[in-house]
Every structure is written in C-alpha cells, then in structure tokens.
Chains A and B, each alone.
Chain A
C-alpha cells in the first residue's frame, strides 16, 4: 500500500509530457525547492497542493522558465518536456513559453481591447498570416475559453472592463491563442467568486481534452474536482504524488494526511 504511488509513477514514465528530475531552486541563499522528481501526464490535469510558501508556485514557474525574469533565482536539475531539457542553453525561453502557456493568480488582462488581448500572443509569435486568420484564432480561442457568447459584441472594449471571472477566462483564452501544449495555472480562481470559479473549473475540465494542464491551488476541494493527479508539496519538498482519488482518500505520508484533514495549512 505504501509503495503504490511510486510504482505507478514508474509505469507512467514512458509517455509523460513533463518530467522533472532532481530539481533544485534557489532564491539567493534560500533553497526554495529541494530534489523534486515528478512525471506529468499528457492531456490530463495535475494539481499541486500544499500550504502557503511550500514552493508549489515556484516549481510551477520553473516549467516555463518564468523564474528567469527574477535575477536572484537559480534552477538546478533537469526538466524535460517531450524529452527535451528546457534548461538546455539551446532552448529559447520565448519559444518554450509559446509551448507552455501560463495563467496567473490575479486576472491580468492587458489594458487593451478584448480582441487585442487575445491577438497579442499570435501576433508576437507570427501565428497568423493575415487579419482573417487572426480573427479565426481570436474567435476560436474565445470559444474554447467559453467566453465567446459574452464577448463577441464587445471585442473592441477594454479587457479590463470585464468582471473578474470573465477577465480570468480572457486570460485563459489569451493563453490558448498561442496554441500551447501545456497550460500552467497558478491559483487561477483565488481572486474569483464561487460562480466564476465554477465556470473556470468547468472550462479546465473541457480543456483537458487537448492540453496538458498543471494547476496550483489552495483549495483541496478544487483539486479534487478538477484534477486527475495531485502532488502535495511541503517546505519545498514534493511529499507525495499520485492519482487524486488516492491522495485524498489514502494518503501515504503522515504530512499529507495532516494537511488533508486540516491539521495544518
């Protein structure tokens, strides 16, 4: 029973989308992430849970090298996507981020129109040859994000004028528009009300068909609702990882159990 998750991990190794191996992250002198090994499956939702400051967001940001933008941050170990090490010097982080999109904690639409928000990614990556193609991308991204009906008549209005939940779905549409393979979501619902949260969760479930999704969440219920696999982080260590069902019903580690039963966190 105790060895179950480990065995499962081993069997999944072959077709995993992302595989991290002995990842260490340092902020200056602080050792923020210690020895994280994880395999993330394609076309599924993986949830990272854990108490505040446990390093789950930090680890998420290493997957598309968002940590590069912080001067004092240093990453060791290897993270592979489709078998390619993303920290290889040959890898251009710009190209990597087109493949690995990200949605943030607070909805952060650009102070531009809804259309321009979604079109921003395709424009910089040159995904559309002409205006018609760009229109198509924008339309389909908004559709996939479930925002089309609400937004189609106000594409020229600023994205900042939408409600919080709409803004977050706009950010998801914006991420989808560059056709990523992986979407990282950093507590995407923490700034939303319950109804908006439900809509976003529904959306995440739909997106699972085409994308590999990694979501960091504070809410264990949310992890249980949307994810197939769950990883529990504590003090920069990946404590336990496995099918969501197992983690919530039968945690192996004492710390996971304590966290899930609400004894700390």
Chain B
C-alpha cells in the first residue's frame, strides 16, 4: 500500500474515532453536555490524537529505518569482487536500486510477471534483455550478484512495506480503542488534549535543536572520514590547494590556508566597503535626516538586503568584473587579469552588506538614550561632536557586535564568490587577483564528478566544519556583545 494511502487510512480512522468518541462521551452523560467534564469535541479530539500520533510516529521511524536495514543486508550480499576499481560500494548499491526499480516498473507495466521478477534462478542476461525491452534504463553491467541483490532488495522492501502497513494500522486502531475506552463523562479530556498539544508544541520547538544536531552530525562524521584518508595537519596547515580528481585523489594537496586567506581577504574588502558606508548612512539617518528623507532612504537601502545573492553574483560576474577590468586590466592600470577577483567579489559583497550594517547600527544608535544627546547638546556640542564623542563611543560595543555579524555573513556568503571571485586558490596580496574561498570550494568539491567517498569530495565537509565553527564563534561573540550592550541601557 503506498504511503499516501496509509496516511489517508490513518486519518480516516482518526475521523471515525473523533465522531465515536464524541458520541460515547455524550451518551455516558445521558446526552446532557453540562454533565461532561470537557466540551464533547475534546473527547473526540482525544481519540483522534491517540490514533494519529503513535501511528505517524511509527510510520516516520519505519520509513527512516527500513532503507538503512535493507541497505545493510543487501550490502552484505555483494562480494568485494563486484566493486570495480574506481567505484565504491555506494555506487554498486545505487546500481542495485536502479535494477530493482526497473523490475518494479516492468512488473507494473505488465511486461514481466511478478514470479519472473522474483525468480532467483533467472538468468541475468535474460532479465537485462527483458528490462531493456520494457524500456527501463538499465546499465549493461547487471551481473548475477547485482541481480540477486536487486531481487532480494525488492523482496525485503515489499515485505517491509507490508509489515509497516499492518503495524501502523494496528497502532491506529489500538489508539482508537484506548481513546474510546477513556471517553466517559468524568474523564478530563480537555486536559489530556492540551497536554498532547503542548507536547506537539515542544516537539516543534525542538526542531531547532534537531537541526543543529543534524548539521553537526553531517559535518562531523564526514569530516572524521576525511581525516582518516587525509592527514588533519596537512589540511589545516597546508599552503597548497590542488585537488586531483583522477583516481582516488591520492595525489591531491588539500591545504585550507589559501582558501582561508581568500575568504578573509574578500570579507575584509567587503567590510571595508560596507562598514564606513553603512555606519555613516545609519548615523545620518538616525541623527540628521528628517522624517521624510528617512521614510524614503531607509526602505530604499533595505531593498539591497532583500535582493537574492544570486543576483549579486551575476552583477559581480557580468557588470562589476568587466568594469574593473576596463580600469585596472591590461588596457588600464594593468594589474588585473580577469573580471573575477577579490576586488570584484569584495566590492559586490560590500554593497550587499551595506543595509545589514546600517540597519543594525541604526538600532544600536537609537538604543543610546536621548539623555546622552541632551547632555552633550546642553553643553554646546555640535551634532557631529555629539555623534563622534558621545554616541559612537557609547554605542561602540554594539557596533562591534554588528560588524562581527556582518563579517560572519561575509565569510559564509557563497553565490557572490562562486561567480565573482574566481576558482584559483592562491596566496597573493594583490586584490585584483582571482582567489577562492572556503564556500566556493565546498560547492565545487561537492558538485563535481568526484566519488563521495574520496578525499577530494569529503574535504568539502571538513571545509564546511571549519566554516561552521568560525561563523558560529563569530555569531556567539557578536550576540553576546550586543546583548550585554542592550542590557546596559535597559
């Protein structure tokens, strides 16, 4: 039974349970609603809740666990000799799944019988031919073990699915029975339902924690795997980045230093653009501009923050890059080889960060109490003296926090550097050289053709781990500073 039908069945049981529970509770009170502890609908909801929650919980867990178990037992069926040079167990397993799906489709289309698909003695040549006849995409390398594995895969899956259907429906029915048994006048249905709802709310709130755990796990396991294949010391202190995609990446040099250098250089350029402009804009808007100017300029600047980064990436690649080349390239100053460069990416990223810096600083400047300004004006200070000597020093911790947040944004930014910074990892001081960043390399290592189990692909997870740790550190420090700062004036 497809999962969607299973879900609908459980929901149907829940609806029936709701109606029955409501009716049973009313009946137990002799039809007089006032004698019930809770409103009748709560009795119904109690039953429905007891049907849906355990059943869906089992369903989700089953759906997660079954592929793992099936894959494990299939994996055992494939002898090592089946795994060709340059391939991996994962690829062979994918092949098995494809073959199994081919069989499924062929059976569904009526081209082969179920018996044939299950026939363990079937000759693989025959099966391949029949599958091809049926228009199924099957690679020519279906070997006997793969075919056996595919057949086993189908059997395990279908019996798994069958058992899942039974268990889920039984759970739903058991829940309905339990709920109905409870549906009596004196039962505190509202409290039970509210407890259940509260549990759901807590579960929803916990997704934030689960996400973090998911991020950490997906990074940590693959990073450990990477360090098993490639020495951690060489990764963190290597000065060369030259992945070799041939073979299993044995000759790759995967040092992170050039990537970090590119990342920090570009972020520095970006902040050098965004911080002065953003800060001055914030000061002007909060201290000088009249309400009309503010009402126009502030939203206009904030448009810059709402534009997707892909747009900035394209802007860097196709507008800013060529523009910079025409000035600094061979025809001009002659220090820029191509449009993709630290300067291109940094400048565009700076533009993107202007509203980020300005709106954060605006909040922080506005948090400085008016009494400070009054005190300064009362002594005969001009506005700029007040800003420079009273407001900015008072707001400094908050502004530092805002700049750290902006730095963390810049370090984690991907699209602008993928399109605007170039692909060459290099340690250079010239801001008009192409360099690359941690994020850009994560993309290129994971979207290339490299095998997932090889160091050249796994390095992306180590890079991601580094990126995550750096940005998380910056965020925690920044948020801490900003919070301390806010408390000072609360």
Residue ranges of A at the interface with B (Cβ–Cβ < 8 Å): 64, 66, 69, 71, 94-98, 101-104, 106, 108-112, 120-121, 124-125, 171, 174-175, 178
Contact = CB atoms under 8 A, between A and B. Distances in A.
Contact of A110 (B290, B375, B380, B382): B375
Contacts of B372: 108, 110-111
Nearest to A109: B375
B378 A101 contact: yes
Contacts of A120: 376, 379, 381, 389-390
Contacts of A64: 378
A94 B390 CA distance: 16
A104 B371 CA distance: 8
Contacts of A98: 379-380
Given A110-B394, A111-B394, A94 B382 contact: yes
A171 B291 contact: no
A236 to B, nearest CB: 22
A64 B372 CA distance: 17
B380 A97 contact: yes
A3 B319 CA distance: 81
B374 interface: yes
A97 B375 contact: no
Interface string B360-390: 0000000001011111111111100100011
Contact of B378 (A97, A109, A124, A125): A97
Contacts of A124: 379-382, 385, 389
A164 to B, nearest CB: 13
Contacts of B381: 94, 120-121, 124
B375 A108 contact: yes
Contacts of A94: 380-382
A69 B377 contact: yes
B145 interface: no
Contacts of B393: 110-112
A95 B379 CA distance: 9
Contacts of A178: 379-380
A66 B377 contact: yes
Give the 9 A-B CB pairs with smallest separation, nearest first: A102-B378, A97-B380, A108-B371, A98-B380, A108-B375, A121-B379, A111-B394, A94-B380, A124-B381
Nearest to B395: A111
Given A108-B369, A111-B393, A124-B385, A97 B377 contact: yes
B451 to A, nearest CB: 58
A178 B378 CA distance: 11
A171 B371 CA distance: 12
Contacts of B382: 94, 124
Nearest to B373: A69
A65 to B, nearest CB: 9
Contacts of A175: 378-379
Contacts of B371: 104, 106, 108
Interface of B: 290-291, 369, 371-382, 385, 389-390, 393-394
A104 B378 contact: yes
A145 to B, nearest CB: 14
A265 to B, nearest CB: 25
B379 A174 contact: yes
19 contacts: A64-B378, A69-B377, A94-B380, A97-B378, A101-B378, A101-B380, A102-B379, A104-B371, A108-B372, A108-B375, A110-B393, A110-B394, A112-B393, A120-B379, A120-B381, A124-B380, A124-B381, A125-B380, A174-B375
Contacts, number: 70
Contacts of B374: 66, 69, 102, 104, 108
Contacts of A104: 371, 374-375, 378
Given A97-B377, A108-B369, A108-B371, A71 B389 contact: no
A95 B375 contact: no
Of A109, A120, A171, most B-chain CB atoms within 10 Å: A120
A112 B375 CA distance: 13
Contacts of A125: 380
A175 B375 CA distance: 9
B25 to A, nearest CB: 60
A17 to B, nearest CB: 18
A178 B379 CA distance: 7
B368 to A, nearest CB: 9
A180 B380 CA distance: 10
A243 to B, nearest CB: 28
Contacts of B390: 110, 120
A185 to B, nearest CB: 11
A152 B369 CA distance: 28
A124 B380 CA distance: 8
A134 B296 CA distance: 45
A81 B324 CA distance: 59
Nearest to A171: B375
A110 B378 contact: no
A232 to B, nearest CB: 25
B486 to A, nearest CB: 14
Of B371, B372, B379, most A-chain CB atoms within 10 Å: B379
A245 to B, nearest CB: 31
Nearest to B382: A94
Given A98-B380, A111-B394, A124-B381, 14 more contacts: A71-B290, A94-B381, A97-B378, A97-B379, A102-B379, A108-B371, A108-B375, A110-B372, A110-B375, A110-B393, A120-B379, A125-B380, A175-B379, A178-B379
A100 B378 CA distance: 8
Contacts of B385: 124
A101 B379 contact: yes
A108 B372 CA distance: 6
A261 B346 CA distance: 71
Contacts of A71: 290-291
Contacts of A66: 374, 377-378
Contact of A121 (B290, B369, B380, B394): B380
Contacts of A112: 393
Contacts of B389: 120, 124
A171 B374 CA distance: 12
A97 B382 CA distance: 10
A124 B382 CA distance: 9
A124 B372 CA distance: 16
B329 to A, nearest CB: 48
Contacts of A171: 375
A94 B379 CA distance: 8
A27 B206 CA distance: 51
Contacts of B379: 97-98, 101-102, 120-121, 124, 174-175, 178
A39 to B, nearest CB: 23
A171 B369 CA distance: 16
Contacts of B378: 64, 66, 97, 101-104, 175
